[in-house]
Structure 1
Amino acid sequence: MTRAIVHMDLDTFFVSCARLQNPQLNGIPLIVGGGERGVVASCSYEARYFGVRSAMPIRMALQLCPQAKIIKGDMELFSNKSHEVTQIIEENAPLVEKASIDEFYLDISGMDKFYGCYKWTNELSNSITKETGLPISFALSVNKTVSKIATGEGKPKGNLEIPQNMVQPFLNPLSIRKIPMVGEVTFNLLSRLGIRNIEKLSETPAEVLQSLIGKNGLELWKKANGIDNSPVEPYRERKSLSTEHTYLQDTIDIEQVKSLILGMVEKLAYQARCEEWLVSTLSVKIRYANFDTENQQRRIPYTSCDHILAKTALELFHKLYNRRMRIRLVGITFTGLVRGTYQINMFEDTEEMMALYQTMDKIKNRFGFDAVTRCGGRTLKSKAGNIISNPRAQFIDPKNIE
């Protein structure tokens, strides 16, 4: 049976949500992002006409398009609209993978026998737009790679179908940049060898690509030839990342407990970024010395940023800890995960914050998690054996730290 894989992508999602709230923003160059020192989280097609792109510094975007209107993003609104779309798709599609806040893969293989895959998908996209007011593009093909590339080519409001016999003719003339796994470094490397379109890449022996790129060379060759057997993985809201710490001796040192919570959150957030997860629910658990266990959780806008998650975790801890008793265990859990790579809050943070996160993650990737951490998340011990629970509040002589 021929596979039928649909990729659905909400068009300029953040911009579309903002325009739903304020119709006066329709038809004008619009940028969703932070202040003058921030970056572009999303931009309208009117702004893209002038060369504005996502992740571009706001200052540069305004140089390209001085007449653009800049608004701050409302992540609560974006999260709610994303959940609305998710519910509609899950109610209708047999197998759904939520790839990010605004992207979905659907496996509807076999449906053509009863209804017609393209007709069904087109009606679903119309229903989404009608019920949520959000424009959406989709492409139907034989695997995830081809359908994703086709969605990008069909935007905005595109609805393409690429059958098996048209996969290679469709891919061949496109730039190798269109392949999802090709970044700037890979593109520059292949360009120097004269490999700039997918047809040339598909004709290059897989062994040559492996010698040039490494283990990803074979995978890249497969994608260039329209081969992708990766399954559509069902989206499960209950996927989680969690960690717990049980004290050898029950403690009432609240500053030390908060320091531990910061360290636990930082480690889980780093894991989430490495695995490309965004978190929408955070919960904190404490167990008292008498084994009474209490939990608090809060739904938050999708994020994988330490400073946002840490602030929420501490607020939940303060709500939880309402007895003057010793603590036996502390736990942190991230749930409501979706695939995504937004590493910081683009609507509030600056270019410097982006650079800081990227640099810290690079150092951790190379030298290990403990190579660089936030000072507030470290529990330091002096050579005398004393715990320095709040290193930010005092000067610490490095000679006294183990």
Structure 2
Amino acid sequence: MARAIVHMDLDTFFVSCERLSNSKLEGIPLIIGGGDRGVVASCSYEARTFGVRSAMPIRMAMRLCPQAKIIKGDMDLYSKLSFTVTQIIEEKAPIVEKASIDEHYLDITGMDKFYGCYKWTNELAQTVTKETGLPISFALSVNKTVSKIGTGESKPKGNLEIPEDKVRPFLNPLSVKKIPMVGDVTFQLLSRIGIRTIQTLSEMPAEVLQQMIGKNGIELWKKANGIDNNPVEPYKERKSVSTEQTFNQDSIDIHAMKAILIGMVEKLAYQLRSEQWLTSTVVVKIKYANFDTQTKQCTVSYTSADHVLIKTVVELFDKLYDRRMRLRMIGINFNGLVRGTYQINLFEDTLEMIALYQAMDKIKKRFGFDAVGRVGTILQNRL
């Protein structure tokens, strides 16, 4: 029996959320993002007709579409509405995977015995829009890759069914950029040797692709041929990430402890970005030599950026450590986590800062976490 996998994607989610709050934003070019040196987090279809795209520098977007209205963005609002949508879907679907703040995969295999899969999914999409006011698109096919590509082709406010015998005819004429794992670098590499459509890619020997782009070559070949056996994994929300360190000898060296805290933040923030989480609550914990344990916390705008979290942690530590007594342990906890499609806070950070984090994370992923970091942390680790 062929699988029935659905990909549901909220259309221009951030824009739709803002329009729910303010109906005057309907029908106008709208850009969600940071200030002049920031980037576009999301944009309306009206802005896209002028060439505006996500992750584009705000300044460039405004040159393309000077009449656009810019809104900083409200992650609290987006997170609440995302949670509501997830609840609606989980109440109806047997297996749900939340892929990001605005995307869900559903495994409804076998539902055709009782109810048409396409009809059921269409009614679920209508329920989401009716109860939240948010437009949503979906595609139904035999696996996650094909259904995700199908959703992209059905937007906005569209729906698409791609049965097993139609998978190859559907995929063949599309650009290789439509395959989820193909980024700009891979696309340029393939384009240089004349591979621009999925059909051409699918007809290449898998071994040649592996030699060209490494271990992902086989996986890319499979996706081009409509092969994807990855399961829909039931959605489980991570509540927090944390770490702590107990000293071999009780310490009163404030500078050393702050360096350790900064190192902890770097590791936890990298974990957040790697898993695409944002935190809203920062907690610092200390344990004195007499085993008295104290904590202090504060709320921050959703982020996973080192420089924001380091500043917050150091400030909390300064307020918390108010006795001239040796410390036995220090620790950090980031909670109030939400999923996001962006690895860092696009509403606050400049284009230069985003590029820096992406470069550092790429180096860490390839050569290990300790391959690059802040000077103070590296020096502390070598002492």
* Deviations 1:301-333 (CA, angstroms, capped at 9, x unpaired): 543211233344446556765766543222333
Q: Are residues 339 and 255 of structure 1, via their aligned partners in 2, closer, same or farther at CA, if it must alter by over 3 Å?
A: same
Structure 2 match to 1:202: 202
Structure 1 match to 2:231: 231
Q: 1:85 and 1:299 mapped to 2: Cα distance?
A: 24
Q: 1:295 and 1:114 mapped to 2: Cα distance?
A: 54
Q: 1:87 and 1:295 mapped to 2: Cα distance?
A: 33
Give the letter aligned to residue 92 of structure 1: K
Structure 1 match to 2:67: 67
What secondary structure does 1:151 align onto? Answer: helix
Structure 2 match to 1:398: none
Q: 1:170 and 1:60 mapped to 2: Cα distance?
A: 34
TM-fit CA distance, 1:249: 1.9
- Asked if 2 retains the 8 angstrom alpha-carbon contact of 1:137 and 1:155, the reply is yes
Q: Are residues 102 and 113 of structure 1, via their aligned partners in 2, closer, same or farther at CA, if it must alter by over 3 Å?
A: same
Structure 1 match to 2:273: 273
TM-fit CA distance, 1:360: 2.6
- Asked if 1 retains the 8 angstrom alpha-carbon contact of 2:101 and 2:341, the reply is no
Q: 2:279 and 2:73 mapped to 1: Cα distance?
A: 17
- Asked if 1 retains the 8 angstrom alpha-carbon contact of 2:278 and 2:344, the reply is no
Shifted more, 339-348 versus 102-111: the winner is: 339-348
TM-fit CA distance, 1:244: 1.8
Q: Are residues 283 and 230 of structure 1, via their aligned partners in 2, closer, same or farther at CA, if it must alter by over 3 Å?
A: farther
* Deviations 1:210-266 (CA, angstroms, capped at 9, x unpaired): 121221111011101111000111111236533221111223445543432222011
- Asked if 2 retains the 8 angstrom alpha-carbon contact of 1:42 and 1:53, the reply is yes
What secondary structure does 1:134 align onto? Answer: coil
- Asked if 2 retains the 8 angstrom alpha-carbon contact of 1:43 and 1:54, the reply is yes
Q: 1:154 and 1:348 mapped to 2: Cα distance?
A: 32
Q: Are residues 2 and 305 of structure 1, via their aligned partners in 2, closer, same or farther at CA, if it must alter by over 3 Å?
A: same
Q: 1:336 and 1:233 mapped to 2: Cα distance?
A: 22
Structure 2 match to 1:216: 216
What secondary structure does 1:244 align onto? Answer: strand
Taking only the aligned residue pairs, the percentage that are identical comes to 75
- The 5-angstrom pairing of residues 368-383 of structure 1 reads 368-375=368-375, 380=380
- Asked if 2 retains the 8 angstrom alpha-carbon contact of 1:259 and 1:379, the reply is no
Q: 1:379 and 1:153 mapped to 2: Cα distance?
A: 50
In the alignment, structure 1 residue 91 sits paired with structure 2 residue 88: no
- The 5-angstrom pairing of residues 235-314 of structure 1 reads 235-238=235-238, 240-279=240-279, 282-294=282-294, 302-314=302-314
Q: 2:205 and 2:198 mapped to 1: Cα distance?
A: 13
Give the letter aligned to residue 43 of structure 1: C
What secondary structure does 1:99 align onto? Answer: strand
Structure 2 match to 1:386: none
TM-fit CA distance, 1:101: 1.1
Q: Are residues 222 and 367 of structure 1, via their aligned partners in 2, closer, same or farther at CA, if it must alter by over 3 Å?
A: closer
RMSD: 2.5
Q: 1:303 and 1:346 mapped to 2: Cα distance?
A: 9
TM-fit CA distance, 1:337: 5.2
Give the letter aligned to residue 153 of structure 1: E
Q: How many residues align?
A: 383
Structure 1 match to 2:154: 154
TM-score normalised by length of structure 1: 0.87
